[in-house]
Structure 1
């Protein structure tokens, strides 16, 4: 029994690690540009007195999904993923919903961080001929790099929790293992081990991001 649990634990740990890593990277690559676009759209709205239709729809989608409980978003997303040519319950089918939540989380945090940049820096860059995207890449992102690194750590920590939800509603990983041994077979010792691993993963993500943020903090 113990050997069987250890084998299952090692496999589930690898699956959870893969889900968190891939969804985290894809969330960063998607969420940061989306957050930048939302910030630029907000600046355009403030300057022109009205926003674009695409910007308004994007903001409504981001805010609407972020306001919806994660379990509901995951259930709906996993149902939609089943219509794609991917194996149901496989890693790809679980990574896609997690990537969506990660991207939206990072987008909101990125926009909030960029909104706090000193407006004088932006105006100085604009007076030298920089366009909006050049300002975003060369002024806004460097100024808020520590906050964005911290956001990435928070997103990875949140993904650890989201991955357990995915496992509990039909996926794999440590969440599915916890449901099997902790709930269905009621083995508290096994559940404690799984919870300890999940806490360690979340803490490692946040602590690493905190150390990197301090290193890149120029203030």
Structure 2
């Protein structure tokens, strides 16, 4: 493999890291509040709002049902409005974030619903406010599941980022298509696959260790 191609792979790897990191940060910041709202606004929740809960739940399910490649194309006008372009790393962050947020929110919602109701009742019995219960009971108790779900989300986003690269977003997917597939260069394809597998493995191992430490506490 030529030095130029090695430089391209390094640059594409950094682009993928930036793409996934920015999108994951947005999904984390938006997904947890969304999950909390879905839990607390439902039947028996702290802030019952059944109509809004159903509407938001339907919206989340709708985005989750759309394949990423279709969502990527459908959001082109919105992506251009937000970033001023439809190609490059930051243009890919928009559809990646919108795709990952509802996915992560549903996983976080499941973790929040699995918190022992006895803990919530104990907090209510000593006069804790609803927001206090959310902040100091629900979120801490659900944290291992939330971290595990976030790990799964990031792994999915790595695969989606490679798919986005195929339509001009840059990153490893772009290198694999342009310099591997279109030029019939198996070495480049194998190199991209190895890098992606290594990246996914690092993310998964890191997430699993974090979950084990939180559960041990």
TM range (shorter): over 0.9
User: Is 1:57 aligned with 2:55?
Assistant: yes
For 2:70, what is the secondary structure of its paired residue? helix
Residues of 2 paired with 1:31 and 1:24: CA distance? 10
Counterpart in 2 of 1:106? 104
Counterpart in 2 of 1:196? 194
Counterpart in 1 of 2:80? 82
Residues of 1 paired with 2:160 and 2:76: CA distance? 13
Residues of 2 paired with 1:47 and 1:172: CA distance? 43
Residues of 1 paired with 2:156 and 2:166: CA distance? 16
Counterpart in 2 of 1:125? 123
Residues of 2 paired with 1:83 and 1:158: CA distance? 26
Choose the corresponding residue for 1:205, options 188, 203, 206.
203
CA shift digits 1:143-174 (9 cap, x unpaired): 12111111121111111101011111221110
Residues of 2 paired with 1:111 and 1:85: CA distance? 30
Q: Name stretches of at least 5 consecutive residues in structure 2 with no aligned partner.
A: none
Residues of 1 paired with 2:129 and 2:62: CA distance? 30
Residues of 1 paired with 2:72 and 2:59: CA distance? 15
Residues of 1 paired with 2:30 and 2:71: CA distance? 18
- Shift in Å, 1:129: 2.2
Q: TM-score if structure 1 supplies the norm length?
A: 0.91
CA contact (8 A) 1:23 1:96 kept: yes
Residues of 2 paired with 1:34 and 1:23: CA distance? 16
Q: How does 1:1-219 map to 2 (within 5 A)?
A: 2-42=2-42, 45-46=43-44, 51-218=49-216
Q: TM-score if structure 2 supplies the norm length?
A: 0.92
For 2:16, what is the secondary structure of its paired residue? helix
Residues of 1 paired with 2:184 and 2:130: CA distance? 56
For 2:164, what is the secondary structure of its paired residue? helix
CA shift digits 1:90-130 (9 cap, x unpaired): 22211111112221121000101111111111111122222
Q: Name stretches of at least 5 consecutive residues in structure 1 with no aligned partner.
A: none
CA contact (8 A) 2:79 2:91 kept: yes
- Size of the aligned set, in residue pairs, is 216
